[in-house]
Amino acid sequence: MAKITVLSREIAIHVRNEEDYICITDIARYKNADHTDDLIRNWLRNRNTIEFLGIWEHLNNPGFNPVEFDGFRKQAGLNSFTLTPKQWIEKTNAIGIESKSGRYGGTYAHKDIAFEFASWISVEFKLYLIKEFQRLKEAERKQLGWDIRRNLAKINYRIHTDAIQENLIPPSLTARQINLVYASEADVLNVALFGMTARDWREANPGKKGNIRDYADVSQLVCLSNLENLNAHLIQEKIPQSQRLTKLNAIAIQQMRLLADDRGIKRLKAGDK
Per-residue pLDDT tens over the stretch 31-90: 999 999 999 999 999 999 999 999 999 999 999 999 999 999 999 888 889 999 999 999
Domain limits of the chain? 2-144, 169-272
Distance, CA of 10 to CA of 26 (rounded, Å)? 7
Kindly report the number of other CB atoms within 10 A of residue 166's CB atom: 10
Q: Which residue has the higher pLDDT, 219 or 67?
A: 67
Instruction: Give the number of other Cβ atoms within 10 Å of residue 267's Cβ.
Output: 11
Of the candidates 200, 245, 207, 203, the one whose C-alpha atom is nearest the C-alpha of residue 227 is 245
In this predicted structure, which of 16-30, 64-78, 142-156 has the lowest mean pLDDT? 142-156
User: 11 φ, ψ to 5°?
Assistant: -120, 120
Q: In the structure, what pLDDT confidence band is assigned to residue 210 with cuts at 50, 70 and 90? A: confident
Rounded to an integer, the average pLDDT of 237-242 is 90
pLDDT of residue 68: 93
The dihedral formed by the CA atoms of 259, 263, 268 and 273, expressed in degrees to the nearest 10: 110
- The mean pLDDT value for 226-242 works out to 88
Element (H, E) at 120: helix 111-121
Each as own residue / partner, the long-range contacts of residues 194-198 (CB below 8 Å, 24 or more positions apart, any chain) are: 194/170, 194/220, 195/170, 195/171
Q: Exposed/middle/buried for 15, CB within 10 Å: 0-12, 13-18, 19+? A: exposed
Q: Choose among 216, 219, 214: nearest CA to 266.
A: 219
> Which of 15, 98, 12, 17 has its CA nearest to residue 53?
98
Whether residue 156 is predicted with pLDDT greater than 60 in this model: the reply is: no
* pTM of the complete model beyond 0.95: no
* Span 147-171, average pLDDT: 58
